[in-house]
Amino acid sequence: MSSEKTAVVLVNLGTPDAPTPGAVRRYLKQFLSDPRVVEAPRFVWFWVLRLFILPFRPKRVARLYASIWGDDSPIREVSEQQTRALDERLDVTVRYAMTYGYPGLPAVLDELADAGHDHLLILPLYPQYSGSTTGAVIDVLADWSRGRREVPGLTLIKDYWQHDAWVDAMADSIRDFRDQHGAAEKLLFSFHGIPQRYQELGDRYGERCLRSAGLIAERLGLEEDAWAVTFQSRFGPQEWLNPYTDKTLEEWGGAGVRSVQVVCPGFAADCLETLEEIDSENREIFLHAGGESFAYIPALNARPTHIDALARIIAERLP
Ligand SMILES: C=CC1=C(C)c2cc3[nH]c(cc4nc(cc5[nH]c(cc1n2)c(C)c5CCC(=O)O)C(CCC(=O)O)=C4C)c(C)c3C=C
Ligand SMILES: [Fe+2]
Ligand SMILES: [Fe+2]
């Protein structure tokens, strides 16, 4: 098959269309209705979502989005930059799509298939696979293919946390930051959490996060007590993967740790969970508990080393 007919689709989670309660409500309704994301019994969750979450959460969360919004949501702005850079770099068409919100994955797949691409390489931008993220992308692909008679060849990159090029890009970004600002007493690797129960039922995401951080720390030659791994972004009353990022920073602040740098290797693009939750909320928590200096090391975003890494990861899998 000639490579002219192949296209690459980068997929990220998604974001609201605007930082307004109405747009955030539409986004959260789609996102939180996915059984991959919230595994509660369907009938109960249908009503809990509509009675207790959608009437209240969007108003609060829209204010948080407003605090990080530029011309658009950061995750969409970064996705566009990543896509443009990779499209220039590779011989194939590169597009991006979101699992929830705009631009939706089925519409992008339709457009590419209708334009005659007979092979689609799908790269979910989650370095560590979880059923709740990459699994949900696979569900969308399956639903989409069910509606088409001619289905193009599909390649899915399940994850890439163990790929040398990505580990190097992460280590390089942290090294760069420390060269510019000096090292902190502690480097905290904070990953988005999932409910503990998903892990008990077989999702090995937590293990992949620990191993990712281990590879990056090894690449940087960090001492054992100079770094730690935590999980952020809890939602709802259940137990999530721990230790928790906010509790750890609070504990450290109170225990005399003076300076911390936080990096979030699970996020390929900066978004609400890094710019607001880490760089604003968790900064406050650490400083309020007694810490003196807090820095957030940005996601890889469209850094040239990230684009190089993604280009290699893609090129190795092109038909
Ligand atoms: C309710 C359950 C959730 C699971 C499970 C979950 C897993 C998960 N999420 C990401 C990446 C992102 N999540 C983002 C926002 C976000 N996540 C949840 C809930 C779950 N996530 C909610 C409700 C929200 C929206 C904000 C809020 O209401 O608090 C984002 C940011 C999107 C943006 O617009 O900037 C990302 C990215 C991963 C990697 C993951 C499991 C591994
Ligand atoms: Fe999330
Ligand atoms: Fe959050």
Q: How far apart are CA 126 and CA 130, in angstroms?
A: 8
191 lines ligand 1 (CB under 6 A): no
Q: How far apart are CA 212 and CA 128, in angstroms?
A: 8
38 lines ligand 1 (CB under 6 A): yes
**Average pLDDT, whole number, for the chain?**
97
Q: How far is the CA of 64 from the centre of ligand 2 (A)?
A: 15
Which residues sit with Cβ closer than 5 angstroms to ligand 3, an ion? 233, 273, 277
130 lines ligand 1 (CB under 6 A): yes
pLDDT confidence of residue 1: 44
205 lines ligand 1 (CB under 6 A): yes
Q: Which of 67, 132, 190, 301 to mutate to test the pocket of ligand 1 (most atoms within 8 A of CB)?
A: 132
Structural domain including 274 reads 164-297
Q: How far is the CA of 262 from the centre of ligand 2 (A)?
A: 18
Closest by Cα among 282, 222, 236, 290 to 259: 290
Q: Indicate whether 102 belongs to any domain.
A: no
Q: How far apart are CA 10 and CA 83, in angstroms?
A: 7
Q: Is the confidence metric ipTM above 0.95 for this complex?
A: yes
Q: How far is the CA of 165 from the centre of ligand 3 (A)?
A: 28
Q: How far is the CA of 256 from the centre of ligand 2 (A)?
A: 31
Q: How far apart are CA 124 and CA 48, in angstroms?
A: 29
Question: pLDDT tens digits for 102-120?
Answer: 999 999 999 999 999 999 9
Ligand 1, atom nearest to 15 Cα:
34
Tally Cβ neighbours within 10 Å of residue 48.
Answer: 16
Q: How far is the CA of 37 from the centre of ligand 1 (A)?
A: 9
> Which ligand neighbours the alpha carbon of 58 most closely?
1
Q: Indicate whether 221 belongs to any domain.
A: yes
Question: pLDDT tens digits for 277-305?
Answer: 999 999 999 999 999 999 999 999 999 99
CATH number for the domain spanning 242: value is 3.40.50.1400
266 lines ligand 1 (CB under 6 A): yes
Q: Indicate whether 185 belongs to any domain.
A: yes
Nearest CA to ligand 1 atom 32: 15
Q: How far apart are CA 318 and CA 91, in angstroms?
A: 10
pLDDT confidence of residue 92: 97
Q: Indicate whether 9 belongs to any domain.
A: no
112 lines ligand 1 (CB under 6 A): no
Instruction: Provide the percentage of residues in the chain whose pLDDT is more than 70.
Output: 99
Q: Indicate whether 308 belongs to any domain.
A: no
In angstroms, how far is CA 212 from the centroid of its own chain? 14
Question: pLDDT tens digits for 229-259?
Answer: 999 999 999 999 999 999 999 999 999 999 9
61 lines ligand 1 (CB under 6 A): yes
Nearest CA to ligand 1 atom 28: 61
In this predicted structure, the answer to whether residue 178 has a pLDDT above a threshold of 70 is: yes
Segment 64-92 shows an average pLDDT of 98
Segment 30-40 shows an average pLDDT of 98
pLDDT confidence of residue 4: 54
Binding-site residue numbers are 192, 273
Q: Indicate whether 263 belongs to any domain.
A: yes
pLDDT confidence of residue 120: 98
In this predicted structure, the answer to whether residue 194 has a pLDDT above a threshold of 60 is: yes
Q: How far is the CA of 259 from the centre of ligand 3 (A)?
A: 23
Q: Indicate whether 233 belongs to any domain.
A: yes
Q: How far is the CA of 213 from the centre of ligand 1 (A)?
A: 20
Judged by phi (left if over 0) then psi (alpha if -120 to 50, else beta), residue 12 lies in beta
Segment 220-232 shows an average pLDDT of 98
Q: Indicate whether 8 belongs to any domain.
A: no
Nearest CA to ligand 1 atom 24: 28
DSSP string covering 141-170: HHHHHHT-SSPPEEEE----TT-HHHHHHH
In this predicted structure, the answer to whether residue 66 has a pLDDT above a threshold of 60 is: yes
> Which ligand neighbours the alpha carbon of 130 most closely?
1
β pairing state of 119-124 and 153-156: parallel
In this predicted structure, the answer to whether residue 2 has a pLDDT above a threshold of 50 is: no
The domain tally of the chain equals 1
Segment 168-190 shows an average pLDDT of 98
Backbone angles phi, psi at 151, to 5 degrees: -100, 130
In this predicted structure, the answer to whether residue 3 has a pLDDT above a threshold of 70 is: no
In this predicted structure, the answer to whether residue 24 has a pLDDT above a threshold of 90 is: yes
In this predicted structure, the answer to whether residue 158 has a pLDDT above a threshold of 60 is: yes
Tokens representing residue 144 in the block: 């989409």
Nearest CA to ligand 1 atom 29: 61
In this predicted structure, the answer to whether residue 134 has a pLDDT above a threshold of 90 is: yes
Q: How far apart are CA 7 and CA 92, in angstroms?
A: 6
